[in-house]
Chain A
Amino acid sequence: MFEVFGIPSQALFGQLLIGLINGSFYALLSLGLAVIFGMLNIINFTHGAQYMMGAFAAFLLLEYAGIGYWGALLIAPVVVGFTGVLIERLFLRWLYKLDHLYGLLLTFGLALIIEGVFRNHYGSSGQPYRAPDLLQGGHNLGFMFLPNYRAWVIVLSLAICLSTWFVIERTRLGAYLRAATENPTLVRAFGINVPRMITLTYGFGVGLAALAGVLAAPIYNVSPQMGADLIIVVFAVVVIGGMGSIMGAIVTGFVLGILEGLTKVFYPEASNTVIFVVMAIVLLIRPAGLFGRAA
């Protein structure tokens, strides 16, 4: 046991860990938002609700089908991603020719519907969800106690973020995707089915949100409004990072999570607001965002 700036190391590193966990969720969610925005030019306000749906999918799979965490980790993102595909085909595709703002309004409406329906069925209180046996317990690192499940969340989200980055920036599929973002008409002329690519991109972004939801289920309770406030923080993260760069979204997410954790140690009153304050400062100094291209 030792102290850093008068703070016991357990408390400091404990909060840093929570910060890293939150940062993982910020990174996964803002990554999804950035991918969707790149292809569809829509800010997906439903993202928070879809994160919540991921957590609920895990909970329901266990409750009604007896499928545990590992199964849910695979099934939930696919199922929720499929609902995303439906949403894109039924609603979003009518909006591409309109002002961007309509996409925001429509997805906001969808979020209200989804969260309202879940609240009616499951009430406002959270449902507990147990971490898998394999990841129970933890290790004492000397300066802090590291629960295995939390370490797993950080490692897995980092891996998913980096592989998404790799696919988009370094593979042929990613090249098509980036080209279609840049100039969809031209890419279509080359015989690539851009509308299907758009649909699948939305499904993939939604799947990422759902995956974050499954990861979050054992840490926070599974509750209908778990995504509602989170999505606003993620919006601030996206404003800070700028949506132009995939790596930017990932880095900003993790850094801001850590910053929030540190604030909890040194000035707890501001921990809810620190990300918004950072956003205001970034807007004053670099209006385009840290990784954004000037419009």
Chain B
Amino acid sequence: MEGIVDPLAAKARRDLSASELAAFAVLIVALLVGWAFVYPILLMKVLCFALFACAFNLLIGYVGLLSFGHALFFGWASYVAAHAAKVWSLSPELAIVCGTAVAALFGVVAGVLAIRRQGIYFAMITLALSQMMYFFALQAKFTGGEDGIQAVPRGRAFGLFDLSEQMTMYFFVVVIFLACFLLIHRIIHSPFGEVLKAIRENEPRAVSLGYKTDRYKLVAFILSATLAGVAGATKAIVFQLASLTDVHWSMSGEVVLMTLVGGLGTVFGPVVGALVIVAMESYLAQFGQWVTVIQGVIFVACVLLFRRGIVGEIAHALRIEL
């Protein structure tokens, strides 16, 4: 049975390879000059989703667990961050910390439940749990129901940087994104990450080697949930809004799509996937409902025709790692 990840693309290496360094350099340059060509607000959206997709990819790409409920962490972190910034008047960085902490907590609970079953059940459990929390968000008072939490103040980061300045906000997001991106890269290439990949390739074998795989899976799940929380909380500050869209199952589907398009189990794939999907949605916005249909077509096309995703195909063609 063919695994979910191309072994060549996911080949383990301890250090940054030359190809990864080159790709990373391209990423940095794109972030430094990109705002001159594209609206910074659109770029910030891409970065938030890219981080979300990277967090999701940590789970599917490196442990082989498909979570269909990551909107739970993304959306609830954005609610909590928005509430903290607006009602408690916390500074933006503390609001993001609050949102992330709640996502981590939910990650512990959802992870403990979901890792009790494997494969297809794991996906259904995470989906069901996130739907449950969607209904809580719909009914809870502080989330504002259908209206969401609007007009969240961006505030001053660390009391120094005025985030209502668009460019300051942009570089604030860039710093958060890069920090988390490097952290994920570090996790993937650490001894811990190697064990995760071993579990992905052959869990019974990893168990027989003495690894407590459930514990590894749980930690990976919590890390992924936490990082998804960072993305959601940051998005709430950037767009000054937390709404039901972010906790809905379609958001979980969207992050799956981004990662699939970019390439499961590649370091840069989710970033490219987020860029492609966000760009597509903003350019196709005038077609309204058809966006969902196009997303569906992309899903089908990716699964049938190019399972490696954009970055995965490039890496495969050039026989390099990305």
Contacts and interface: CB of A to CB of B under 8 A. Distances in A.
Interface string A220-247: 0000000001001101101100000000
B66 interface: yes
Interface in B1-25: 1-4
Contacts of B68: 104
A183 to B, nearest CB: 16
A235 B128 CA distance: 7
A276 B131 contact: yes
Q: Which bracket fits the contact residues of B?
A: 35 or more
A43 B293 contact: no
Interface residues of A, number: 45
A112 to B, nearest CB: 3
- Which of A99, A108, A111, A113 has the most chain B CB within a 10 Å cutoff? A108
Given A105-B303, A109-B298, A113-B293, A97 B1 contact: yes
B113 A239 contact: no
A119 interface: yes
B113 A284 contact: yes
B127 A116 contact: no
Contact of A238 (B124, B290, B299): B124
Contact of B256 (A105, A269, A279): A105
Nearest to B253: A108
B298 to A, nearest CB: 7
B249 interface: yes
A295 interface: yes
A280 interface: yes
A272 B135 contact: yes
B290 A120 contact: yes
A287 B129 CA distance: 15
B151 interface: no
Nearest to B112: A284
A239 B299 contact: no
A280 B129 contact: yes
Given A104-B66, A112-B292, A276-B129, A94 B304 contact: yes
Contacts of B296: 109-114, 116
B121 interface: yes
A110 B293 contact: no
A293 to B, nearest CB: 12
Contacts of B135: 272-273
Which of A115, A238, A277, A280 gathers the greatest number of chain B CB atoms within 10 Å?
A: A280
Interface in A89-131: 91, 94-95, 97-102, 104-106, 108-117, 119-120
A167 interface: no
B67 to A, nearest CB: 11
A113 B297 contact: yes
B300 interface: yes
Interface in B83-128: 113, 116-121, 123-125, 127-128
B136 interface: yes
Nearest to A277: B132
Interface of B: 1-4, 60, 64, 66, 68, 113, 116-121, 123-125, 127-129, 131-132, 135-136, 138-139, 249, 253, 256, 260, 289-290, 292-293, 295-300, 302-304, 307
Complex A-B, nearest 7 residue pairs according to Cβ-Cβ distance, in ascending order: A109-B299, A112-B296, A113-B296, A276-B132, A116-B293, A116-B292, A287-B116
20 contacts: A98-B1, A106-B300, A108-B253, A109-B299, A109-B303, A110-B300, A111-B296, A112-B253, A112-B292, A112-B296, A229-B131, A235-B124, A239-B117, A272-B135, A272-B138, A273-B136, A280-B113, A283-B116, A283-B125, A288-B117
